[in-house]
Structure formats: structure tokens, C-alpha cells
Amino acid sequence: MPKDAPQPNGGPAAGGQPDGNRLGFALSEHLEACARTLLDRHMERSREWFPHQLVPWRLGRDADPQVEPDTAGPPESTGVRSALLVNLLTEDNLPYYFHHVAQAFPDDSAMNEWVRRWAAEEQRHSIVLRDWICVTRQLDLEALERARMHQVSTGFAPGVRAESACDGLVYLAFQELATRVSYRNTGQQVLDRAGAAIMNRVATDENLHFLFYRDMATAAMEEDPSAGMVALDRQVTNFQMPGTSIAGFAAHATAIAAAGIYDYRVHSDQILDPLVRRHWKVESICGLDPAAEAARDHLLAWMARVRRVADRLEDQRVREPSA
């Protein structure tokens, strides 16, 4: 997969400000009320669950440094292992995401309350993933720990700045949907039954996160459709996933794409089209100002390009199955 290919992984970020100043987006009364309603809905829908109950502890044993790393349970495929590594390191990046998202909203706002709850749920993902990987030893645990130290020491935020609250909400909606799809697709390929159950459990959380951000972004776009379209174009065409900062990311992205877990086809058909065309119906929004009209044209042209790349890569795979 080309190195600029979209890639999914764990928790999102709303976009950072290089100088580290607080963004402090003030939401309208309507959007603040939406955030409260959606937070209440989330709390009703989310179910308590315990990472330790999903981990097959019987497979664990003390590591012997004299013995070559081996796995407990069926060895997972290269694509699955790459997805596990990228997803876990992205979840580990949580402090950095939290910093960027929380500082975007006032401390006493419903959005800030949501962000704290969301962070608690995201941390549960890294806990359960790491525990399962440790007992099954599907990854080299020393390399994993070094990669975690590097990830958290350096941190990651998407390259494109959040110009507005709508930018952040749109980015987060895409990020959470991409993450849900990635975990679901990984879960379908994980051989260990406990591992598959963990992927599905995490994907269920990611879906609820997605629904929160999607519906907040929808409300923001309805409030100001022109500004919303410009933000949507800016975020979609600059979309960058947190995993890009991981050492060896290009090779992992290639393995993940080859396994069909996440590639241009998935990004186009399962992320962009469902949100941009079917949910937000950008092609039929009326009354946009000239800048927003230009943004819509730019966005749709970019999406067509992503589809063409997906088609070309699929053709290439058919012609050269081992490439």
C-alpha cells in the first residue's frame, strides 16, 4: 500500500495546535445541549465490562529469556500481528489525544465531561489488548515495550490543525468509524477465540464513540452548513491516522492492507461513502456559500480519486497476487 494510505487504529485526536495553547472552542447553547443529550445516550447504551474477564490467563507463563519467543495458542497471521501492534500503540497514545481533545473545550462543558469518560473507555482498550498479547505472546514483548516507550515519549497528533470545533468533531467521527472497522476486520481473522471476542468487544465501544462524534458533527454542520462543508473537506482530504508515527509503519500498513483488514477499498466503501454521501448527503446540501461550494467540489473529486486508487490496487492484486 502506498505510504500515504489511510490507516486505522485506536483513539482519535481533535487536531493539535503547535504552540500548545488551549483551543477553547465555545460551543453554542444548542451544541452544548446536544453534547449533554448524546452523553446521556452514551451512558444508557454503554455496558460495563471487565478486561480481566476476557483474557485467557491460563495461557500465560513466566518469560524465559533463554528461550526464543514463542506463542501460546494458534500463531496469528502477519497482517493480524501488524494490526495488533498498530492498534495497541495507538491506544497507548491516549495521553496525547486526551491533551488535545480536552483542551479544545471548557472544563465545565458537557463536551469536556464526555472527553473524560471517553478517555476512561479508551484506556480499557489498551489494557485488554496488552493483557491478551502478553499471555498469548503474539508479539515480541520486548520490542512492543520499546515501541510503547517511543510512542508515548514522542506523542502524536494529526498534522492538520482543527480550525473549528466542527473540524475536530468530523475528524473524530472518521477516526472512530475507521477504528471500529479495523477492530471488526481484525476480529474476523484472529484465530484465538478469546482474542476474537476482545476485538469485537472493543469494536462495540468504538461504535458508540463513533455515534457520539458523528451526531455532534451533524449538529454542528446543520448549524452552519457552509463552515461545516469547509471543515469536512479540510479533514477528509488531510485525514491522517495516529499510526503513521509508529516505526516501520509503512511495512505494517502493507501487511494490514494485504490481509484486507484496512486499505483504500475499505476506507472508500466503509468509511467515506457511508458518512459523506449517505449520512451527511453532501451532494444535496443547498444554500452553500462560494467557498463551501468549492470545498464540496474538492471533497467529491478527492473521494473519486480514492475510489480510483482502490480500483487500481485491486486490479494489481488480481494480476500479481503475491505483490
What residues from 246 to 265 belong to the interface with Fe ion (CB under 5 A)?
none
Residue 92 binds to Fe ion (criterion: CB under 5 A): no
Phi, psi (5° rounding) for residue 146? Answer: -65, -40
Residue 122 binds to Fe ion (criterion: CB under 5 A): yes
Residue 206 binds to Fe ion (criterion: CB under 5 A): yes
* C-beta closer to Fe ion: residue 92 or 176: 176
Pinpoint the alpha helices (H) of the chain: 29-45, 51-54, 78-92, 94-102, 110-136, 141-154, 165-189, 193-223, 225-237, 249-258, 264-266, 290-319
Q: Is 87 helix (H, G, I), strand (E, B) or coil?
A: helix
Point out which span in 43-51, 78-86, 130-138, 200-208 binds Fe ion (CB under 5 A): 200-208
Residues 242 and 240: their CA atoms lie apart, in Å, by 7
What residues from 10 to 49 belong to the interface with Fe ion (CB under 5 A)?
10-11
* C-beta closer to Fe ion: residue 81 or 209: 209
Residue 242 binds to Fe ion (criterion: CB under 5 A): no
The CA angle 156-162-164, to the nearest 5 degrees, is: 155
Count of residues making up the chain:
323
Point out which span in 134-142, 203-211, 238-246, 263-271 binds Fe ion (CB under 5 A): 203-211
Q: Among 81, 82, 84, 125, indicate the residue that binds Fe ion (CB under 5 A).
A: 125
**How many residues bind Fe ion, per CB under 5 A?**
7
The CA angle 115-116-122, to the nearest 5 degrees, is: 85
Cell matching residue 68:
526464543
* C-beta closer to Fe ion: residue 100 or 209: 209
Residue 8 binds to Fe ion (criterion: CB under 5 A): no
| Interface residues toward Fe ion, by CB under 5 A | 10-11, 122, 125, 176, 206, 209
